Amino acid sequence: MTSVVSEETTSPLAGLHVIGLDHRTCPDPIREAVFVADAELPEFLETLRQVGFSEAMVMSTCDRVEIRAIHDGTDDVAAKVAEALTTPTPIEARQIVSALYHHTGVAALTHIFRVSAALESQVIGEPQVLGQVRASHRLATSLGMAGASLEPVLRASYTAAKRVRSETAIAEGPTSLVAAAIRVARSIHGALSGCHLAMLGVDDIALMMGAQFQENGLEYITISDRVPRRAERAARDLSAHIADFETRSKTLAQADILLCANGDGRYAVDAEMLQSALRARRRKPIFIIDLGVPADVDPAVERLDDAFLYDLNDLENLAVEGKSGRQAAITEAERIINEEISSYLGGLAGRDADSLIVELREAVERERLNLLREKPFANVEEATRLLASRLLHRPSEALRALASEDKLDTTTETLIRALLVPDDQNKGETGEF
């Protein structure tokens, strides 16, 4: 990921942090352990508040556990987050510190924009992530932990994400993958309305596919996950049933379509397990989509009759129409994100200038009112002379101090002349104050 603006220009974002673990940086078992369920968020956010975070929100999804926060201190912020995440678990904080990504300032802003636009997802352009961000934002706001600093950043990221979805074809990638999966399912089973879909493990792609299968007529979904809290959340999202992960052999026997999304390096389904399920189904076929990285399904399954195993690469190869224009869409999405970030930072700079202008005007007004109180009967000539003298006193002293320390460079001189000396007077001369 590249920042589009240097960190030196980002003082308004100096306290912005993004700290987390995702599908690329952290093994699934650790993400499983530190997953923060909805019911645990109030206590977790309160813990962050107590260790110095003035604002914070948590995205705890199948693919990432991520904290976006405001912290103005100089402490090791990532260590504080690691401690908060691991305290309720058997894992020690030091075990996850090396896996945490930590962005600050513009890099944090860029990451937030990219996540909202689904440029950091396993499948670029997947539609669920923006809804997940919004839900996390709403919850943090309801708990009083998303305020004046996080709010504008998140709102701006939503605007950028909307532009990406409306001005590019980036959403066609996930759509084409799911369309390919649905075509295969129909070729094996016919109408989806009578099919039973089982999920072993849950990630964002599995949720997306489950929702799309439902939109295409599938009515019955069963979800199993090694983390019961994750299965419960997914079941709520899809109005699905929950089954114990350890009894997955029984679930397999009922499944016409199987989505596997563990990716923890262990086969969730082996050939013997599936052979037993096929016998129980009286050889009625099973369409298996292996979303795991590494694989969740033993490759030996492919040798079984009536088992049709596809992974993401297989589905991408079927979705050639979506694949052909995907890179162009991603490039255009990157351009939009960089443009929106530059616009946001430009707005921050403008707001800073406006604040400074207000401050200067207020200072001049205070001097004017002080003078009127001290010299209520001064004539115009005397009053303006005294006011000019007072307004120039502090900058004059500051310039003399800079000169005495040999710090009065040409840039400062040029700036002072541009501010105070009319263009048609004293060009090239050093002013006396």
Active site residues: 62
> To 5 degrees, how large is the angle CA 264–CA 85–CA 156?
95
Question: At a CB cut-off of 8 Å and minimum separation 6, what does 431 contact?
Answer: 416, 417, 420, 421
How far is the C-alpha of 369 from the C-alpha of 375, rounded, in Å?
A: 10
Strand ranges (E), 32-149: 55-60, 64-70, 101-104
Sign of CA dihedral 299, 304, 309, 313: positive
* Beta-strand pair 64-70/55-60: antiparallel
Helical residues (DSSP H) of 375-423, grouped into ranges: 380-404, 410-420
DSSP three-state, residue 241: strand
How far is the C-alpha of 365 from the C-alpha of 317, rounded, in Å?
A: 70
- The residue type of 364 is V
How far is the C-alpha of 80 from the C-alpha of 87, rounded, in Å?
A: 11
Helical residues (DSSP H) of 201-325, grouped into ranges: 204-215, 228-238, 248-254, 271-280, 312-318, 320-324
Asked if 123 and 291 touch (Cβ cutoff 8 Å), the reply is: no
Asked if 254 and 196 touch (Cβ cutoff 8 Å), the reply is: yes
Q: What Cα–Cα distance (Å) separates residue 384 from each residue in 238, 278, 389?
A: 74, 97, 9
How far is the C-alpha of 209 from the C-alpha of 228, rounded, in Å?
A: 20
